[in-house]
Structure 1
Amino acid sequence: MAADRDSRRETAWRLLRDLIGQSGIRLSNRCPRCGGDHGPVELEGAAVTASVSYAAEWAVVALAPAEAGSVGVDAEPEVDTRRDRAGLDGVLGAGSASARDWVRVEAALKADRRGLRIEPGAVHILGGTGTDQGAGASWRARVPGRADAVLGWDLTGPPGILVSAALARIESADA
C-alpha cells in the first residue's frame, strides 16, 4: 500500500524487483505514444514479463515467464463515487458495463501491449459471466488485430479492489 502516485510507483518497482529476485534488472514504462512514464512495463535483464496497476492507495503487480507470453493486470476500486456517478454506459460499447468488465478489458489490452490505443469497446469478453464472476473466474478476450484470444482470470485483491490479470501469446511479425 502506498500513499500517492510516486510512492505507489516506487512500491510497484520494489515489488517487481523483490519478486524477480535477481540483480541488474532495469525497469521502465515509457509510453510508446507520448514518451510519458505510464506505458507498458519493460524489464531489461529478466526472463519475465510484468504489468502494474494502481487502485486507490494500492499498487498491484503481475509477472509471467516471458515464454508464456505477455501479462497484463488491472485493478479498480469496487466503489468509486465519481466513476459510479458518471456510469460506465457506452464505455465498453453499446449498453452498460461494470467495473469488473472494465478491469477485464484493461487487463487484456495491457497483455496485448497496445493498451488504450485499441478502442476498449471493441474488445469482447467471453466467459466469466453470471455465476462465474469474481475471484477465480476465467475468461477469454477477443482483441481486434489478434489472431488468438487473450486468456484472463479474476483474482482476489485487497478488500474493496477488483483485480483481473490476462496473458497474451506473443505473436510473431508474420502472424
Structure 2
Amino acid sequence: MTLPAGIRVAWRQVPAGSARRDVSRALLAELVPGARFRSRCPACGADHGRIHVDGADAAVSVSYVEGWAVAVAAWGHERVGVDAVPVDAGGLERVLPDDAGERAVMSAPSSTAPARAWARVEAVLKADGRGLAVDPRRVEVTPVTSGWSARVRSSPFGESPPRGGSAANARERRWRGWDVDGPNGVVIAVAVVARAETAPV
C-alpha cells in the first residue's frame, strides 16, 4: 500500500552483534536529516520509550522484529506509531479483539490476517502513548478506503490518560492507519492521529 505524502517507513537488518537501537537511530537520521532524537521513560527515567524529535516538525516511532529494525517518520503529525510482526506469529488470537481477525481478512490474505490485525492494534497503542497499559482488545479497527481507521474503546473501569494528554482526549481520539509490506515474512502497520478526530470511525 502507498503511504500518504509526508509519511515514510524504512527498515534495515540488524547485523549480528550490533545494537538494534543504533540501527533504528541511523534509520531515523536518514528519514529526518538534521533532527535530534531523545527518549526518556517517564516511569524509570531510562533512555527508552517514546522518541521525541528536536529540530523538525515530525513524529517518529520504531519497531523491531527478528533481526530487523523498522522506523517511521510522519511530518506534520503530533504522533505516529509503527509495529512490525512476523506473518507466522502464533498465539495472537488470545490478545486480539474478538473480530479483529475477521476485519483484517477483509483487506489482507487470511494467512497474514492475525499478524496484520496485531500490527494495527500495536501501532495504534504506540501512537496513543499508553502501549500495552491499554488492553489490546479495546482497539477497534475498521477497514476503510485506502487503509483503515481505529479508535480505543472506553474502559468501564475508567481511563488512564495517554502521556501528555487527558482521559477525555483518549476517548475521543481517532486514528488513521495503513498496512505496509515489510521485509520478507514481516508485515508492518503505521498509525497517526486522524485529521478530523470527531469524524465517525
Could you state the TM-score of these two structures normalised by the residue count of structure 1? 0.77
1:3 aligned to 2:15? Answer: yes
Is 1:69–1:169's contact at 8 Å kept on the other side of the alignment? Answer: no
What is the match of residue 29 of structure 1? Answer: 39
| 2: CA distance, partners of 1:123 / 1:3 | 34
* RMSD, aligned α-carbons: 2.5
Opposite residue 45 of structure 1, the aligned amino acid is G
| 2: CA distance, partners of 1:143 / 1:103 | 15
Is 1:68–1:169's contact at 8 Å kept on the other side of the alignment? Answer: no
Gaps of 5+ in 2: 1-12, 102-113, 154-169, 196-201
Is 1:89–1:95's contact at 8 Å kept on the other side of the alignment? Answer: no
**42, 65, 70: which is aligned to 1:55?**
65
**75, 78, 81: which is aligned to 1:72?**
81
Gaps of 5+ in 1: 171-175
What is the match of residue 173 of structure 1? Answer: none
SS of the equivalent of 2:93 reads coil
Is 1:88–1:96's contact at 8 Å kept on the other side of the alignment? Answer: no
Deviation at 1:118, TM superposition (A): 1.6
Q: Percent identity?
A: 40
Deviation at 1:6, TM superposition (A): 5.4
What is the match of residue 45 of structure 1? Answer: 55
Opposite residue 30 of structure 2, the aligned amino acid is D
Opposite residue 61 of structure 2, the aligned amino acid is S
Is 2:97–2:140's contact at 8 Å kept on the other side of the alignment? Answer: no
Is 2:181–2:187's contact at 8 Å kept on the other side of the alignment? Answer: yes
Deviation at 1:42, TM superposition (A): 1.2
Detail structure 1 runs of 4+ shifted over 6 Å in the superposition: none
What is the match of residue 147 of structure 2? Answer: 138
| 1: CA distance, partners of 2:173 / 2:65 | 29
Alignment deviations for residues 101-129 of structure 1 (CA, whole Å, 9 cap, x no partner): 1100010111112222222111111116x
Could you state the TM-score of these two structures normalised by the residue count of structure 2? 0.68
Opposite residue 76 of structure 1, the aligned amino acid is V
CA 1:4/1:43 → structure 2, altered by over 3 Å: closer, same or farther? farther
Number of aligned positions between the proteins: 156
| 2: CA distance, partners of 1:26 / 1:154 | 27
Is 1:29–1:38's contact at 8 Å kept on the other side of the alignment? Answer: yes
